[in-house]
Protein backbone atom coordinates (compact mmCIF):
# COMPACT_ATOMS: atom_id res chain seq x y z
CA UNK A 1 0.00 0.00 0.00
CA UNK A 2 2.82 2.39 0.85
CA UNK A 3 4.41 1.65 -2.51
CA UNK A 4 1.23 2.67 -4.35
CA UNK A 5 0.96 5.93 -2.39
CA UNK A 6 4.58 6.75 -3.09
CA UNK A 7 4.18 6.16 -6.82
CA UNK A 8 0.98 8.27 -6.93
CA UNK A 9 2.71 11.21 -5.26
CA UNK A 10 5.62 10.93 -7.65
CA UNK A 11 3.25 10.90 -10.62
CA UNK A 12 1.46 14.05 -9.42
CA UNK A 13 4.74 15.79 -8.72
CA UNK A 14 6.04 14.89 -12.17
CA UNK A 15 2.91 16.29 -13.84
CA UNK A 16 3.17 19.52 -11.85
CA UNK A 17 6.82 19.97 -12.83
CA UNK A 18 6.05 19.32 -16.49
CA UNK A 19 3.15 21.82 -16.43
CA UNK A 20 5.29 24.51 -14.78
CA UNK A 21 8.13 24.01 -17.27
CA UNK A 22 5.72 24.13 -20.22
CA UNK A 23 3.99 27.27 -18.93
CA UNK A 24 7.34 28.94 -18.37
CA UNK A 25 8.46 28.06 -21.88
CA UNK A 26 5.26 29.46 -23.41
CA UNK A 27 5.56 32.65 -21.36
CA UNK A 28 9.16 33.07 -22.45
CA UNK A 29 8.27 32.63 -26.13
CA UNK A 30 5.41 35.12 -25.78
CA UNK A 31 7.62 37.75 -24.21
CA UNK A 32 10.27 37.25 -26.87
CA UNK A 33 7.77 37.64 -29.70
CA UNK A 34 5.57 40.32 -28.08
CA UNK A 35 7.52 43.26 -29.48
CA UNK A 36 7.50 41.73 -32.95
CA UNK A 37 3.75 41.11 -32.78
CA UNK A 38 3.07 44.69 -31.67
CA UNK A 39 5.26 46.08 -34.44
CA UNK A 40 3.42 44.00 -37.01
CA UNK A 41 0.04 45.22 -35.71
CA UNK A 42 1.20 48.84 -35.82
CA UNK A 43 2.53 48.42 -39.36
CA UNK A 44 -0.73 46.78 -40.48
CA UNK A 45 -2.71 49.62 -38.88
CA UNK A 46 -0.68 52.31 -40.63
CA UNK A 47 -1.00 50.50 -43.94
CA UNK A 48 -4.78 50.27 -43.45
CA UNK A 49 -5.05 53.99 -42.72
CA UNK A 50 -3.21 54.84 -45.93
CA UNK A 51 -5.29 52.32 -47.89
CA UNK A 52 -8.66 53.83 -46.89
CA UNK A 53 -7.73 57.50 -47.44
CA UNK A 54 -6.90 59.46 -50.59
CA UNK A 55 -3.27 59.63 -51.66
CA UNK A 56 -1.18 62.62 -50.65
CA UNK A 57 -3.14 63.56 -47.54
CA UNK A 58 -1.65 64.58 -44.22
CA UNK A 59 -2.91 62.44 -41.33
CA UNK A 60 -3.50 64.09 -37.98
CA UNK A 61 -3.06 62.61 -34.53
CA UNK A 62 -5.41 59.93 -33.30
CA UNK A 63 -8.59 61.18 -31.60
CA UNK A 64 -11.12 59.19 -29.58
CA UNK A 65 -14.75 59.78 -30.52
CA UNK A 66 -17.58 57.61 -29.15
CA UNK A 67 -15.02 55.07 -27.98
CA UNK A 68 -13.51 54.70 -31.49
CA UNK A 69 -10.19 55.96 -32.84
CA UNK A 70 -10.44 58.60 -35.59
CA UNK A 71 -7.58 59.74 -37.82
CA UNK A 72 -8.46 62.97 -39.62
CA UNK A 73 -6.90 63.68 -43.01
CA UNK A 74 -6.08 67.06 -44.55
CA UNK A 75 -5.23 68.16 -48.07
CA UNK A 76 -3.54 71.56 -48.41
CA UNK A 77 -4.74 72.46 -44.92
CA UNK A 78 -8.38 71.59 -45.61
CA UNK A 79 -10.32 68.67 -44.14
CA UNK A 80 -10.34 65.80 -46.66
CA UNK A 81 -11.90 62.96 -44.66
CA UNK A 82 -11.02 60.57 -41.88
CA UNK A 83 -10.13 56.95 -41.17
CA UNK A 84 -12.05 55.34 -38.31
CA UNK A 85 -10.99 52.17 -36.52
CA UNK A 86 -14.19 50.39 -35.54
CA UNK A 87 -15.28 46.96 -34.34
CA UNK A 88 -18.29 44.73 -33.71
CA UNK A 89 -18.94 41.22 -32.41
CA UNK A 90 -19.26 38.75 -35.27
CA UNK A 91 -20.22 35.09 -35.34
CA UNK A 92 -16.79 33.79 -34.29
CA UNK A 93 -15.54 36.81 -32.35
CA UNK A 94 -14.77 40.52 -32.68
CA UNK A 95 -14.26 42.12 -36.08
CA UNK A 96 -11.81 45.05 -36.21
CA UNK A 97 -12.15 47.20 -39.31
CA UNK A 98 -10.55 50.39 -40.61
CA UNK A 99 -12.96 52.39 -42.79
CA UNK A 100 -12.28 55.65 -44.63
CA UNK A 101 -14.72 58.49 -45.35
CA UNK A 102 -14.25 61.53 -47.56
CA UNK A 103 -15.22 65.02 -46.45
CA UNK A 104 -18.83 64.44 -47.53
CA UNK A 105 -19.20 61.16 -45.65
CA UNK A 106 -18.88 58.78 -48.61
CA UNK A 107 -17.04 55.50 -48.02
CA UNK A 108 -13.63 55.50 -49.73
CA UNK A 109 -12.47 52.03 -48.75
CA UNK A 110 -12.19 49.62 -45.83
CA UNK A 111 -9.66 47.11 -44.53
CA UNK A 112 -10.31 44.25 -42.12
CA UNK A 113 -7.64 44.32 -39.40
CA UNK A 114 -8.71 41.27 -37.39
CA UNK A 115 -11.53 38.74 -37.43
CA UNK A 116 -12.35 35.23 -36.21
CA UNK A 117 -15.05 34.32 -38.71
CA UNK A 118 -15.54 30.87 -40.22
CA UNK A 119 -13.15 30.18 -43.10
CA UNK A 120 -14.96 30.03 -46.42
CA UNK A 121 -18.06 31.78 -45.00
CA UNK A 122 -17.79 34.72 -42.64
CA UNK A 123 -14.20 35.46 -43.63
CA UNK A 124 -15.53 36.77 -46.97
CA UNK A 125 -16.07 40.12 -45.21
CA UNK A 126 -12.52 40.95 -46.29
CA UNK A 127 -13.59 41.47 -49.93
CA UNK A 128 -17.36 40.89 -50.15
CA UNK A 129 -18.54 44.44 -49.48
CA UNK A 130 -16.17 46.12 -51.94
CA UNK A 131 -16.84 44.01 -55.02
CA UNK A 132 -17.42 46.55 -57.80
CA UNK A 133 -18.98 43.88 -60.03
CA UNK A 134 -21.89 43.35 -57.61
CA UNK A 135 -23.55 46.66 -56.70
CA UNK A 136 -26.00 44.98 -54.34
CA UNK A 137 -23.22 44.14 -51.91
CA UNK A 138 -20.71 46.88 -52.69
CA UNK A 139 -20.61 49.82 -50.24
CA UNK A 140 -17.56 51.62 -51.66
CA UNK A 141 -18.49 55.08 -52.90
CA UNK A 142 -21.88 55.03 -51.20
CA UNK A 143 -23.05 57.85 -48.98
CA UNK A 144 -23.00 56.53 -45.44
CA UNK A 145 -25.99 57.34 -43.25
CA UNK A 146 -25.37 55.18 -40.19
CA UNK A 147 -28.22 52.82 -41.14
CA UNK A 148 -26.67 50.14 -43.37
CA UNK A 149 -28.41 46.78 -42.98
CA UNK A 150 -28.71 43.51 -44.87
CA UNK A 151 -31.63 42.86 -47.21
CA UNK A 152 -33.06 40.23 -44.84
CA UNK A 153 -33.53 43.01 -42.26
CA UNK A 154 -35.15 45.39 -44.76
CA UNK A 155 -31.89 47.01 -45.90
CA UNK A 156 -30.35 47.33 -49.34
CA UNK A 157 -27.07 45.46 -48.81
CA UNK A 158 -26.76 41.80 -49.85
CA UNK A 159 -25.39 39.65 -47.03
CA UNK A 160 -22.70 37.04 -47.44
CA UNK A 161 -24.22 33.70 -48.42
CA UNK A 162 -24.73 31.53 -45.28
CA UNK A 163 -23.05 34.17 -43.13
CA UNK A 164 -25.79 36.63 -42.22
CA UNK A 165 -24.57 37.12 -38.65
CA UNK A 166 -21.09 38.04 -39.85
CA UNK A 167 -22.58 40.43 -42.41
CA UNK A 168 -24.75 42.14 -39.79
CA UNK A 169 -21.76 42.61 -37.52
CA UNK A 170 -19.72 44.10 -40.35
CA UNK A 171 -22.41 46.64 -41.30
CA UNK A 172 -22.95 47.48 -37.64
CA UNK A 173 -19.26 48.33 -37.37
CA UNK A 174 -19.50 50.55 -40.46
CA UNK A 175 -22.52 52.35 -38.99
CA UNK A 176 -20.71 53.03 -35.73
CA UNK A 177 -17.72 54.35 -37.64
CA UNK A 178 -19.90 56.81 -39.57
CA UNK A 179 -21.50 58.12 -36.35
CA UNK A 180 -18.05 58.68 -34.86
CA UNK A 181 -16.98 60.41 -38.08
CA UNK A 182 -19.93 62.84 -37.96
CA UNK A 183 -19.55 63.51 -34.23
CA UNK A 184 -15.87 64.24 -34.76
CA UNK A 185 -16.81 66.90 -37.32
CA UNK A 186 -19.37 68.44 -34.93
CA UNK A 187 -16.86 68.59 -32.07
CA UNK A 188 -14.32 70.30 -34.30
CA UNK A 189 -16.88 72.91 -35.42
CA UNK A 190 -18.08 73.47 -31.85
CA UNK A 191 -14.55 73.98 -30.62
CA UNK A 192 -13.89 76.57 -33.32
CA UNK A 193 -17.08 78.50 -32.50
CA UNK A 194 -16.26 78.50 -28.80
CA UNK A 195 -12.80 79.87 -29.57
CA UNK A 196 -14.26 82.80 -31.56
CA UNK A 197 -16.79 83.43 -28.78
CA UNK A 198 -14.05 83.58 -26.15
CA UNK A 199 -12.03 86.00 -28.27
CA UNK A 200 -15.09 88.27 -28.60
CA UNK A 201 -15.67 88.21 -24.83
CA UNK A 202 -12.04 89.12 -24.24
CA UNK A 203 -12.52 92.36 -26.25
CA UNK A 204 -15.88 93.42 -24.76
CA UNK A 205 -14.69 94.17 -21.16
CA UNK A 206 -12.30 96.85 -22.43
CA UNK A 207 -15.26 98.81 -23.85
CA UNK A 208 -17.38 98.44 -20.71
CA UNK A 209 -14.73 99.82 -18.33
CA UNK A 210 -15.22 103.47 -19.37
CA UNK A 211 -18.84 104.00 -18.21
CA UNK A 212 -18.01 102.41 -14.85
CA UNK A 213 -15.45 105.14 -14.11
CA UNK A 214 -18.05 107.86 -14.70
CA UNK A 215 -20.52 106.19 -12.36
CA UNK A 216 -18.10 106.14 -9.44
CA UNK A 217 -18.10 109.96 -9.06
CA UNK A 218 -21.69 110.28 -7.70
CA UNK A 219 -20.89 107.72 -5.05
CA UNK A 220 -18.04 109.87 -3.76
CA UNK A 221 -20.38 112.87 -3.49
CA UNK A 222 -22.95 110.83 -1.58
CA UNK A 223 -20.32 109.63 0.86
CA UNK A 224 -19.21 113.22 1.50
CA UNK A 225 -22.84 114.23 2.10
CA UNK A 226 -23.24 111.43 4.60
CA UNK A 227 -20.10 112.49 6.43
CA UNK A 228 -21.48 116.02 6.84
CA UNK A 229 -24.66 114.65 8.42
CA UNK A 230 -22.86 112.56 11.01
CA UNK A 231 -22.48 115.36 13.64
CA UNK A 232 -26.28 115.84 13.71
CA UNK A 233 -26.80 112.19 14.42
CA UNK A 234 -24.33 112.33 17.30
CA UNK A 235 -26.10 115.30 18.91
CA UNK A 236 -29.45 113.54 18.84
CA UNK A 237 -27.93 110.49 20.42
CA UNK A 238 -26.76 112.60 23.40
CA UNK A 239 -30.25 113.97 24.06
CA UNK A 240 -31.95 110.58 24.11
CA UNK A 241 -30.20 109.02 27.12
CA UNK A 242 -31.92 111.51 29.51
CA UNK A 243 -35.38 110.33 28.48
CA UNK A 244 -34.37 106.69 28.74
CA UNK A 245 -32.91 106.96 32.26
CA UNK A 246 -36.08 108.44 33.90
CA UNK A 247 -38.27 105.31 33.69
CA UNK A 248 -35.48 103.21 35.11
CA UNK A 249 -35.41 105.15 38.38
CA UNK A 250 -39.21 104.79 38.90
CA UNK A 251 -39.36 101.02 38.55
CA UNK A 252 -41.34 99.64 41.51
CA UNK A 253 -39.91 96.75 43.44
CA UNK A 254 -43.09 95.75 45.35
CA UNK A 255 -44.49 93.46 42.60
CA UNK A 256 -41.39 91.40 42.84
CA UNK A 257 -41.94 90.92 46.60
CA UNK A 258 -45.55 89.91 46.05
CA UNK A 259 -44.50 87.44 43.46
CA UNK A 260 -42.06 85.90 45.88
CA UNK A 261 -44.75 85.68 48.57
CA UNK A 262 -47.16 84.01 46.20
CA UNK A 263 -44.64 81.43 45.21
CA UNK A 264 -43.74 80.69 48.82
CA UNK A 265 -47.46 80.30 49.66
CA UNK A 266 -47.79 77.86 46.90
CA UNK A 267 -45.05 75.72 48.34
CA UNK A 268 -46.79 75.75 51.76
To the question of pTM greater than 0.85 for the whole model, the response is no
Average pLDDT, the chain: 78
**pLDDT above 80: residue 221:** no
Domain spans, the chain:
46-197
Under the banding of pLDDT at 50, 70 and 90, the label for residue 7 is: confident
Core vs surface per residue 128-148: b (16+ CB within 10 A) or e: bbbeeeeeebbbeebebeeeb
**Rounded distance, CA 23 to CA 25, Å?**
5
Exposed, middle or buried: residue 115 (CB in 10 Å: 0-12, 13-18, 19+)? buried
Find the mean pLDDT for residues 49-61: 93
Per-residue pLDDT of 136-178, as tens digits, reads: 999 999 999 889 999 999 999 999 999 999 999 999 999 999 9
Radius of gyration of the chain (CA): 42
Mean pLDDT of 9-16: 87
Amino acid sequence: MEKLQSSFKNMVLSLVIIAVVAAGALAGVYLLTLETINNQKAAKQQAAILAVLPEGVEIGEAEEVNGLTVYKAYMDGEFAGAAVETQADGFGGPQKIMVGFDAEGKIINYEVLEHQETPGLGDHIVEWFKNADKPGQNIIGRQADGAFSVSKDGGDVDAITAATISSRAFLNAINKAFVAFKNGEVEAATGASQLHHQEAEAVEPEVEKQPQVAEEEPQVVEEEAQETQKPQVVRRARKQPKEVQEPKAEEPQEPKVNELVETEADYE
